A and B are shown apart, each in its own frame.
Chain A
Amino acid sequence: MGIQLYLYLSAILFMIGVVGVIARRNAIIVFMSIELMLNSVNLTLVAFSAFLGDVTGQMLVFFVMTVAAAEAAIGLAIIISLFRNKQTVNLDEINILKW
């Protein structure tokens, strides 16, 4: 199996993530879509890494996973603090400042 199939699959996953960020209005689901984008990148990196026979790509995947975990911690904390003040995580209702 060539590398193309992996690249197509990760490109499709990435696009699903992008559409999710743009179309969905729940902050948590938007965040999940962003995670999908990051994981599709991981798939690309691993595919390239295997294709090139070079370990850098796999190493980068570990960094991406670590950073994604840190980002999830911060992001959920921010969303919770918003929920405490507003009782909503719907992005359409977050409108004190103009979006």
Chain B
Amino acid sequence: MEITISDLWQSAPMVSLTLTGLVALLVESMKGGRTTAVYGLSLAGCALAFVFSLWSLGSEVIVFNGMILQGGYASYFSMVFTSSAFFTIVLSRPYMQRLHREQGVLYILILFATVGMMLMASAMDLIILFLGIELMSVCLYVLTGFVRTKVTSNESAVKYFLLGAFATGFLLYGIALVYGTAGTTNLKLISQSFAQLSGNSLFLMGAGLLVIAFSFKVAAVPFHMWAPDVYEGAPTPVTAFMSTGAKAAAFAAFVTVFIRTFAITGTPISEVVAFIAAASMILGNVTAIAQSNLKRMLAYSSIAHAGYMLSGIAAGSAEGETGILFYLAAYTLMNMGAFGIISWVEQQDDTKLTFDDYAGFSAQRPVVAAMLSVFMFSLAGIPPFAGFFGKYYVFLAAVKADLVWLAVIGVLTSVISVYYYLRLVMVMYFRDGNATIEERVPGFAFAVIGVIAALVILLGLYPSLVVDISKTFFKL
């Protein structure tokens, strides 16, 4: 049992990002440490980790004595997380400068949260899973309350922290019961003995507690109460990060445990997940209609999207896994884009966040309005945008797993969701007003949002780009 250099080398995406974070921390604390240097370093670190992940996508190895999976599944998710972190860092800068709260430590926290996400996606052991979740969550609690002087930011941080730590309790109890009944925390060994374990009531209780904990992290009904408040109170770029990267990471862990390790098809666990999925889709979409604040609307929409993705987990099949993987890539892009544009229109004092504030946006800012419309159409799941194929794959997996009722609920609630997404498009294009982006946003941020919009369309036109890759990932 020893750690070799090759272990470290094969975990290049994680190691490089950690080192970047540490160097950035040093640069920040040096005398006359420049925030710009930390900003550039963080962006470079994300880009480097992305390249390493892309490079190792084809080869899969298990390193650190069976603790960590690298390449394939882990690399795929690392690419999602690093892109999410990259976009968040780019969007945070103008936002925090406007609030006069720009500090280098913001970017460093985003980097370390991303490392936590990568650990969650590459975990082959419940201990690593736990450490990854905590590394990510602790950084996110601080990021949520980053604007210390603003009471909404404080409040949302307290709520997120208390409920997040509460969920950690359930997660740990679940891990403890699974460990006690399986005799190991290694996911590969647990998957081999799942057939005998699935009859053990203590094991099922542990699995149930894990479902509760993950449902908290992905914000699925009935464990969603924190999401609207936290999403509304947190600084908008951080909200974007939480609703994309953190949600993708929670789903990566969910899929690792409940599809790749447990064979849940036909077990009570699958039924529980199916009910959580149905409840999330219905409650998320119906409540989103009533919202006037866009950040709250997107929070409820993210609950609904968690429901769509959970139907893939309820299916418990390889198709479900592929569907979720594609859905997460698409969802990360479109939600990041939507929150990015919202953060430009928003004012320092939390105003200009309602639908009415977007009246006449298309006349003032035609290109940005068009990009926001792309994201809204994609979130609504209208072809040919990426969001459509995400829904198509997860619902297809649900139908193949004899969960037709779940797919029907999914399709019906998607129809409801069209109303509130397209309401924003309607306000932008058909209502007169003078909505615009008040402060100057750097050209780089525009370019980044443009790239995201292009990727949303590209993934919608060629979904096989992602789907074919995800089919090659090996099973536990």
Which residues of A pack against B, CB within 8 Å? 14, 17-18, 21, 27, 30-31, 34, 37-38, 40-41, 44-45, 47-48, 51-52, 54, 56-57, 59-60, 63-64, 67, 70-71, 74-75, 78-79, 81-82, 85-86, 91, 94, 96-99
Q: Assess whether B141 is in contact with A99, with CB atoms less than 8 Å apart.
A: no
Residue B268 at the chain A interface, CB threshold 8 Å: no
Residue B152 at the chain A interface, CB threshold 8 Å: yes
User: What are the interface flags for B217-254 relative to A under an 8 Å C-beta threshold, 1 for contact and 0 otherwise?
Assistant: 00000000100110011000000000000000000000
Residue B423 at the chain A interface, CB threshold 8 Å: no
Q: Assess whether A86 is in contact with B173, with CB atoms less than 8 Å apart.
A: no
Q: Assess whether A67 is in contact with B134, with CB atoms less than 8 Å apart.
A: yes
Q: Return chain B residues, CB-CB under 8 Å to A64.
A: 130, 172
Which residues of B pack against A, CB within 8 Å? 127, 130-131, 134, 138, 141-142, 145, 148-152, 154-159, 161-162, 165-166, 168-169, 172-173, 175-177, 179-180, 183-185, 225, 228-229, 232-233
Q: Assess whether A63 is in contact with B162, with CB atoms less than 8 Å apart.
A: no
CA–CA, A47 and B180, complex, Å:
9
Q: Assess whether B185 is in contact with A56, with CB atoms less than 8 Å apart.
A: yes
Q: Assess whether A54 is in contact with B162, with CB atoms less than 8 Å apart.
A: no
- Nearest first, the 6 A-B pairs at minimum CB distance are A37-B169, A48-B180, A82-B154, A41-B172, A44-B176, A97-B229
Q: Return chain A residues, CB-CB under 8 Å to B177.
A: 44
Residue of A nearest to B164 (CB): A71
CA–CA, A31 and B164, complex, Å:
11
Q: Return chain A residues, CB-CB under 8 Å to B154.
A: 78, 81-82, 85-86
Besides the known contacts A34-B165, A57-B179, A97-B156, 15 further A-B residue pairs in the complex with CB atoms under 8 A apart: A21-B162, A27-B162, A37-B166, A60-B175, A74-B161, A78-B141, A78-B145, A78-B157, A78-B158, A79-B158, A81-B154, A85-B150, A86-B154, A98-B228, A98-B229
Q: Assess whether A86 is in contact with B151, with CB atoms less than 8 Å apart.
A: yes
Q: Return chain A residues, CB-CB under 8 Å to B131.
A: 63, 67
Q: Return chain B residues, CB-CB under 8 Å to A91.
A: 158, 162
Residue of A nearest to B145 (CB): A78
CA–CA, A74 and B154, complex, Å:
13
CA–CA, A71 and B137, complex, Å:
9
> Least Cβ distance of B42 to chain A in Å?
21
Q: Assess whether B169 is in contact with A38, with CB atoms less than 8 Å apart.
A: yes
The answer to whether A85 and B149 touch (CB under 8 A), given A78-B154, A99-B159, is yes
Q: Return chain A residues, CB-CB under 8 Å to B142.
A: 74, 78
CA–CA, A94 and B151, complex, Å:
9
The answer to whether A60 and B185 touch (CB under 8 A), given A45-B179, A52-B180, is yes
The answer to whether A45 and B148 touch (CB under 8 A), given A70-B134, A96-B155, is no
Q: Return chain A residues, CB-CB under 8 Å to B184.
A: 54, 56
CA–CA, A71 and B130, complex, Å:
13
Task: Tell me which of B127, B138, B156, B161 contacts A60 (CB under 8 A).
Answer: B127
CA–CA, A78 and B157, complex, Å:
7
Task: Tell me which of B158, B172, B176 contacts A27 (CB under 8 A).
Answer: B158
Task: Tell me which of A38, A44, A86 contacts B168 (CB under 8 A).
Answer: A38
> Least Cβ distance of A29 to chain B in Å?
11
The answer to whether A78 and B161 touch (CB under 8 A), given A52-B183, A60-B175, A96-B155, is yes
Q: Return chain B residues, CB-CB under 8 Å to A75.
A: 141, 161-162, 165
Q: Assess whether A85 is in contact with B151, with CB atoms less than 8 Å apart.
A: yes
Q: Assess whether B138 is in contact with A70, with CB atoms less than 8 Å apart.
A: yes
Residue of A nearest to B231 (CB): A97
Residue of A nearest to B131 (CB): A63
Residue of A nearest to B154 (CB): A82
CA–CA, A41 and B127, complex, Å:
14
CA–CA, A7 and B111, complex, Å:
39
Q: Assess whether A97 is in contact with B232, with CB atoms less than 8 Å apart.
A: yes
Residue of A nearest to B186 (CB): A56
Q: List 16 A-B contacts (CB under 8 A).
A: A14-B169, A34-B162, A37-B169, A37-B173, A41-B169, A41-B173, A52-B183, A54-B184, A60-B130, A75-B165, A78-B142, A82-B157, A91-B158, A96-B155, A97-B152, A97-B229
